[in-house]
Amino acid sequence: MTAPAPFPGGGGADDQQQPPPPRRSRTGYLLLLPGTLWLLLFFIVPLVTLVSTSLYDPAGTLETGYQLTFAFGNYVDAIDDYATEFTRSLLYGGLATLFALLLGYPLAYAIAFRAGRWKYVMLLLVIAPFFTSFLIRTLSWKMLLADQGVIVEVLRFLHILGDDGRLLATAPAVVLGLTYNFLPFMVLPLYASLDKIDVRLIEAAGDLYASPPQAFRRVTLPLSMPGVVAGTLLTFIPAAGDYINVELLGTPQQTMIGNRIQSLFGAGSYPAAAALSVTLMLLILAMVMLYIRRAGTDELL
Amino acid sequence: MTATLVRAGRWVTGHLVMFVALLVLFYMFLPIMVVVLMSFDDTADVAYQFNGFTLANWSDPCSSYGMCDAVAKSLQIGLLATVGATLLGTLMAFAMARHHFRGRSIANVGIFLPMASPEIVMGSSLLALFVSAGFAGQLGFATILIAHIMFCLSFVVVAVKARLSGMDNGLEQAAMDLYANEWQTFWRVTFPLVFPGIVGAALLAFSLSFDDYIITNLVAGQSQTFPMYVWGVSRREIPPQINVIGTAMLLVSILVVVMAEVVRRGRNRA
């Protein structure tokens, strides 16, 4: 195993632990330059273009061209027309993140503390799904969740589903698909931060008469918070913007905002699509900032 | 008595966690087992059901029209994007981990942002840029490559930086003490130590590029990558050959990782 931790727990945590040697030279800037230029040109500049596109006159088309008329009305329309889709995206994304955390934490914990010499094998198993196409795996869920599929049959037998109950083409199927697809993004940062914990701290809690649940709540969990924060963000953000799971596992009744942005771009309604896209980005940024602030204070307690 | 109880409790919790973990791994592998199974299915169908066993898909994967062209395109883009992103990202990681410079926290945020942006936003903003720059008609290979290098870059930086900051500085200092100059120290000590991290980052970049659909679809124009091919057929009959590609990808990547592990162990023993 070469790189078991592509995602380290907190963004700048490594820097604090090991300050880089004081080499203040021009080399640093030179090394940074090509990559920075690439990100500037193809990430930052496009974002600015997206914002200005969102303010174009919505009457424009690809053929007649677009005019920047500061049409803030695009945003009003976007929020008016697509409020349900926005809410649904945040709700499904949030649920998927919660489930991914509930499933991912025990897995990451087991890999970090209980796997022994199977540690790297288990890590490899977590990363392996990455190497079979995301779309093909989602198509397999379509087969697994189908009305004649094993899962539905079992759930019907157990009376968890009614006799005509189904899974495919429902909201639970979409949330299941989202949880599934982004689970590795939750497990890897969780593992990275759990693995850094000094086991002696947990043992010390036990020596001081903390029960295992107490030791977990007061020692392990707080120390793994950077991983929880990084993992939930890396899961929530792509999940809220996804439209593939809805297309393959849901119906138009579960349409998320990603579907709308994609279809508006496809239809050439660039200003409206851009306004939706910018709104999504702002919503996500706002939630992320709120969340980081909350998580930050929790960490201090 | 209480000691036994505590010990029993610990045994249960210990194994309970492992049991739950294995269940979660099973959940992660369930659809992959379906992919492997379906690669031996003998007919294309809409419902995606197993109809009968055959080896035909494996002996002639290209019989599904247009698929192998799409796979070839994805491989080309994947390789070029991996080279580009790994090169730029490794340089950035060295700068971040080994050099002091002003604006470091801004650089950190700038590297983190692409990972924290939904793909649909990145794809649509790139499309907006290409369209407003007058490239609406020239969307294709080049625009896909630009996009892929962009979204792989941050992941490479993070992976290589993690390797660099976990490294022991003492070895480099020892090399310098033994009269190696900076250049020699870099190529004989630092680079070999970081190399596994760079390989890991490159593998990650390749898999991200090969698998991307949302961004690619927005900037691809008339070009078709493998994920776009899969998306296209998912509405019609699903040819079992796509599962051959999915399974083959999995096998190749497992092989690469196992080989890397064997090399590592061999070196450790030597």
pLDDT mean values, one per 10 residues, chain A (301 residues): 42 45 70 92 93 82 68 84 92 96 95 86 84 88 84 81 80 94 92 89 88 87 89 92 92 90 87 92 86 60 30
Selection from A267, A290, A239, A83 nearest residue B119 by Cα = A239
Cβ contact B234–A143 (<8 Å): no
Backbone angles phi, psi at A68, to 5 degrees: -80, 105
The pLDDT assigned to A202 comes to 87
Q: Is A189 on the interface with B (CB under 8 A)?
A: no
> Per-residue confidence at B270, pLDDT binned at 50, 70, 90?
low
Q: Could you tell me which of A87, A134, A101 has the C-alpha nearest to residue A240?
A: A87
Q: Nearest-CA neighbor of A280 among A85, A94, A99?
A: A85
- For residue B161, the Cα-to-chain-centroid distance in whole angstroms is 17
Residue A298 has a pLDDT of 46
Does B245 sit within 8 Å of A110, measured CB to CB?
no
pLDDT at A6: 44
Q: Is A237 on the interface with B (CB under 8 A)?
A: yes
Written as one letter, the residue type at A116 is G
Residues belonging to chain A = 301
Task: For residue A61, list its beta bridge partners.
Answer: A65
What is the chain B residue with the closest CA to A182?
Answer: B28
Size of interface A-B (CB pairs under 8 A): 312
Contact A32 B107 (CB under 8 A): yes
Contact A39 B150 (CB under 8 A): yes
Suggest the residue from B40, B94, B121 to mutate for an interface test with chain A (most A CBs closer than 10 A): B121
Average pLDDT over residues B139-149: 94
Q: Do A140 and B38 touch (CB under 8 A)?
A: yes
Confirm or reject contact between B108 and chain A (CB < 8 A). yes
Question: What is the CA A160 to chain-centroid distance, rounded?
Answer: 29
Q: Does B220 touch chain A (CB under 8 A)?
A: no
Q: Which has the closest alpha carbon to A246: A174, A194, A183, A179?
A: A174
DSSP state of A197: S
Q: Determine the average pLDDT of the residues in B58-65.
A: 80
Which residues, in sequence order, are bridge partners of residue B41? B53
Of A41, A7, A190, the closest CA to residue B112 belongs to A7
Q: Residue B1: its pLDDT value, please?
A: 62
Backbone angles phi, psi at B204, to 5 degrees: -60, -45
Query: B181: pLDDT confidence band, cut at 50, 70 and 90?
Result: confident
For residues A142 and B45, the answer to whether their CB atoms sit within 8 Å is no
A5: left (phi over 0), alpha (psi -120 to 50) or beta: beta
Beta bridge partners of B45: B238
Tokens of B161: 């930086």
R_g of chain A computed on alpha carbons: 23
pLDDT at B18 over 60: yes
Domains, chain A, with CATH or none: 43-300 (1.10.3720.10)
C-alpha A188/C-alpha A295 separation (Å) is: 19
User: What is the distance between the alpha carbons of residues A148 and A48, in angstroms, rounded to a whole number?
Assistant: 49
- Name the average pLDDT for chain B: 86
* Between A71 and B91, residue with greater pLDDT: B91
Whether chain B has a CB inside 8 Å of the CB on A45: the answer is yes
Which whole number is the average pLDDT over B186-214? 89
Domains along chain B?
A: 65-238 (1.10.3720.10)
Please compute the mean of the pLDDT values over residues B23-49 and round it to a whole number: 85
Flag whether residue A150 sits within 8 Å of chain B, measured between CB atoms: no
Position B138 confidence tier, pLDDT thresholds 50, 70, 90? confident
Q: How far is A181 from chain B (nearest CA, A)?
A: 9
Q: Does B221 touch chain A (CB under 8 A)?
A: no
Instruction: Identify the pLDDT of residue A17.
Output: 46
Q: Residues 6 or more apart from A268 whose CB is under 8 A from it?
A: A61, A62
| Residues of B whose CB is below 8 A from A49 | 125, 128-129, 132
Contact A2 B213 (CB under 8 A): no
Task: List CB contacts of B84: < 8 A, sequence separation 6 or more.
Answer: B145, B149
User: By the CB < 8 Å criterion, does B88 face chain A?
Assistant: yes
Determine the distance in angstroms separating the CA of A287 from the nearest CA of chain B, rounded to an integer. Answer: 12
